[in-house]
Amino acid sequence: MTLRIVLLGAPGAGKGTQAQRLAATHGLVHISTGDMFRAHLKQGTELGQRVQDYLSSGRLVPDDLTCAIVTDRLVQPDCAQGYILDGFPRSAPQAEALDAFFTDNGQKLDVAVDIAVADEDIVDRLSARRSCPACGAIYNLKYGPSKRGGLCDRENCSGELILRDDDREETIRKRLQVYHQTTAPVIGYYGNQGILKTVDATGLTPDDVFARIEEILCGLKGA
């Protein structure tokens, strides 16, 4: 079964953590708009320069730029095996643009999974997040540290772990505000389509959240 999944959730809800595991388990392509923008920033491309201020201040990149980067990615041949969208769509116009892409390409979304976490937990989690700039692995000083301290412990990687630029308290609070104003309505959008599943992840470990999502995917296969 070719799966097409959207992962919804506030900043720090665990979208990237779960998307990496789901991609590895089900052979899906992991598409994170945040990771794509950060890669452009790192490479110093024109797009990177255009999005820099948005990322560092925690505001959303304009919909036209974001939708273009996603639809360009979705037509790549590897996406025929199925994919997980992590951090997209994040506004009603983005959700509508994704539906237009599906209509044009004879595809459909199987499920939108909302990973729900209380705001109080977000700042705590994100200020302790450490990321590997080399391979993208995600760690947490409190909830899932690297076994090698400040270095990535994935096989064949020894990247030096960093605190993401936007994981500073003031920017985290701005991202949360943007989430509640602009992104939370996307949950209702998929609810109305009847393809929304919610995982209440407050207080759950990453393993527990993964198990809940796997149950949801099993239900789809059995449907």
Phi, psi of 41 (to 5 degrees): -60, -45
The reply to whether 58 sits near Mg ion by the rule CB under 5 A is no
Q: How far apart are CA 184 and CA 189, in angstroms?
A: 9
Q: How far apart are CA 71 and CA 136, in angstroms?
A: 22
Rounded (10°) CA dihedral 213, 17, 47, 169: 120
Q: Is-catalytic flag, 129?
A: yes
The reply to whether 159 sits near Mg ion by the rule CB under 5 A is no
Are the beta carbons of 103 and 72 closer than 8 angstroms?
A: no
The reply to whether 212 sits near ligand AP5 by the rule CB under 6 A is no
| Shortest CB 223 distance to Mg ion, Å | 28
Closest by Cα among 68, 116, 58 to 88:
68
Among 16, 58, 89, 136, binds Mg ion (CB under 5 A): 16
In the complex, which residue's CB is closest to ligand AP5?
Answer: 34
The reply to whether 136 sits near Mg ion by the rule CB under 5 A is no
The reply to whether 205 sits near ligand AP5 by the rule CB under 6 A is yes
| Shortest CB 222 distance to ligand AP5, Å | 26
Q: Is-catalytic flag, 175?
A: yes
The reply to whether 30 sits near ligand AP5 by the rule CB under 6 A is no
Nearer to Mg ion, 4 or 38 (CB): 38
- From residue 46 to residue 75, what is the string marking binding to ligand AP5 with x (rule CB under 6 A)? --------xx--xxxx----x---------
Angle at 204 (CA atoms; ends 195, 201), nearest 5 degrees: 30
Q: Of ligand AP5, Mg ion, none, which one sits near residue 183, judging by CB under 5 to 8 A according to partner kind?
A: none
Question: Roughly what angle, to the nearest 10 degrees, separates helices 63-74 and 46-57?
Answer: 120
Q: How far apart are CA 81 and CA 75, in angstroms?
A: 11
In the complex, which residue's CB is closest to Mg ion?
Answer: 16
The catalytic residues are 15, 90, 129, 164, 175
